[in-house]
Amino acid sequence: MRRHEVIVVGAGLAGQRAALAAVEAGRDVAVVSKLHPLRSHSGAAQGGINAAVGAEDSVDTHIYDTVKGSDYLGDQDAIEFFCREAGPTVVEMEHFGTIFSRAPDGSLARRPFGGAGFPRTIYAADRTGLALLQAIWERLATDASRFTLYQEWDLTRIVVREGKVQGIVAFDRKTGLFEGIAAPAVVVATGPSGRIYARTTNAHSCTGDGVAAAYEAGALVKDMEFVQFHPTALPESGILITEGARGEGGILKNAQGERFMSKYAPHVLELASRDVVSRAIATEVAEGRGFEGGFVHLELMHLGKERIESRLQEICDFCRNFSGIDPVTQPIPVYPAQHYMMGGIGTNAKGATNVPGLFAAGEAACVSIHGANRLGGNSLLETLVFGKQAGIAAAAYAQQSSDRPVVTDADVNASQVPIRAMMARSDGEDPSKLRAEMQATMDRYAGIYRTEADMLEGIRRIRALKARYANVRIVDRSQVYNLNLTDALEVGHMLDLAEVIVVGAYARTESRGAHFRIDYPKRDDARWMRHTLARKSAEGPELSYSPVAYTRWEPKERVY
């Protein structure tokens, strides 16, 4: 058994920031990740990071925009803290070495983003996530002796005994060996779970492993029914076209050449909140005003070659490589795709969960600051602000803890035995097929528009898939880099989370932010201004609800 003081699972921006904080607090830190840290999905974030640093802007406006964007489901105390930390966080990242784009006067350049009152999104061309990821890794790995990196290790469980975290069980892809790693504090920062859906902007690795493991270990997961669909993705592949493209002046048109956002958000048009723009595109296509194949056009041509190629360099490459389109001369076909989970492991603003010793941060967590709909530019900021908080809190917890946590052979076997059984089967379910059916189910029954009948069908189908999963089979019997084993584990994780999404969405009989019920099209503050909490039980997710924290901002109707 290996032993550390703090284990951080996931090495994207949130995980690395947590690890850095725990290392700086003097703790013995392990970073466990199924990808090399520089390959984390944080690197795919394009548009930017919000901080109200402009003279005309204010932290209060950032708070208000975030509260409004959340459709009043965000916790206002956490949002206030979050927005106050924005400026110092960006400065810190600049000092760590991030190469941000600059204004002519040498200050950090800013661009407008959806749902924001001022141009507040600081960026590094259209690869802001990559720029931040490189800088945080350079900082963390400056002295590699300060922590232990378990690179390309897959998490299989979080061990909790007598109500307290004991550590984790994980296996090394290179050897296939399962091992226990003990620590009093575990930070889950495993990022997105977007591969629950077929049409997603997320990387293949975004399978919610940490969220599912925390749920399995007794953590409450929060607000999972709120799934953000990004308005502009390439229809065939789901590859993201940054909101920065609209921030730079890109416009949306339907097949009739109409700039249709004027009907849905007359004041800010394309720069309305993401939920609003995604519904608008889905409606245009559903009502027959899309192009053949089911998409609308994003036009950048009027911005001119120079601006497109300098500020949207990656986008140019994506379009040219992946859809054969040159955005300098042609419109880009776009349709919404799953992009972000507002929900996740429920935490407070220090990253603590309901399980002592278990912490979470980033997209895997739900503080909640995004509520029912996240604003563009707030997720990169979230990873850094709350990654740091979770790292500090986990380090303090580990230091104060007098327990000697243990991961036993029985704990390791609890992960290993079912996998041996999956490998021993001569017949059984193919994880790839289960995954494809789950993804099709979620696209169809838990998408942008939802109804009671859809939700019930979604629940029925996901439960049928879970039943089949009990008989899943791993065909590949190799010990080395067995991806078939990873497939099987990941689809198991995702099926658990898919069930939480559909059950939570069925229960929530209102429309708020990204959760839109055709049968309940209005927001219902009297009944539903509260968070959904799900606890795992043998019968499926057990739901309960908790109040939204609020300080200064009364709920109002949301108009853009």
Site residues (vs other proteins, CB under 8 A): 35-36, 38-41, 43-44, 88, 90-91, 94-97, 99-108, 124, 127, 130-131, 134, 138-139, 141-142, 144, 174, 203-205, 236-237, 239-240, 293, 313-314, 317-318, 321-322, 324, 430-432, 436, 475-476, 478, 480-484, 487
Residue 380 beta carbon to other proteins: minimum distance, rounded to whole angstroms: 14
List the catalytic residue out of 230, 274, 450, 515: 230
List the catalytic residue out of 199, 246, 461, 512: 246
523 is known as an active-site residue = no
**Tokens encoding 129:** 């996530």
Torsion of CA 21, 25, 27, 30, to 10 degrees: 10
- Alpha carbons 10 and 40: distance in angstroms, whole number: 8
Q: Which is nearer to other proteins, 105 or 162 (CB)?
A: 105
Q: Which is nearer to other proteins, 70 or 323 (CB)?
A: 323
Angle at 418 (CA atoms; ends 502, 3), nearest 5 degrees: 95
Q: Which is nearer to other proteins, 97 or 418 (CB)?
A: 97
Residue 236 beta carbon to other proteins: minimum distance, rounded to whole angstroms: 7
Q: Which is nearer to other proteins, 216 or 314 (CB)?
A: 314
Residue 365 beta carbon to other proteins: minimum distance, rounded to whole angstroms: 21
Q: Which residues contact 50 (CB under 8 A, 6 or more apart)?
A: 62, 86, 113, 116, 120, 121, 122, 375, 377, 378, 381
**Tokens encoding 323:** 């859809």
What is the helix (H) or strand (E) element at residue 534, kind and residue range? strand 530-537
Residue 481 beta carbon to other proteins: minimum distance, rounded to whole angstroms: 5
- Alpha carbons 515 and 536: distance in angstroms, whole number: 22
**Tokens encoding 89:** 């966080």
199 is known as an active-site residue = no
Residue 37 beta carbon to other proteins: minimum distance, rounded to whole angstroms: 10
Angle at 231 (CA atoms; ends 293, 296), nearest 5 degrees: 35
Q: Which is nearer to other proteins, 174 or 527 (CB)?
A: 174
Question: Minimal CA–CA distance to 33: which of 204, 128, 148, 142?
Answer: 148
Q: Which is nearer to other proteins, 259 or 305 (CB)?
A: 305
Which residue's entry shows tokens 């997710």?
541
CA-only gyration radius of the chain, Å = 22
**Tokens encoding 236:** 């065939």
Residue 431 beta carbon to other proteins: minimum distance, rounded to whole angstroms: 8
Indicate the angle between helix axes 378-400 and 76-96, nearest 10 degrees.
90
Report the Cα 503 to chain-centroid distance in Å: 19
Q: Which is nearer to other proteins, 280 or 488 (CB)?
A: 488
Are 271 and 113 a contacting pair, CB within 8 Å? yes
- Alpha carbons 234 and 293: distance in angstroms, whole number: 12
- Alpha carbons 220 and 344: distance in angstroms, whole number: 9
Please list the active-site residues: 230, 246
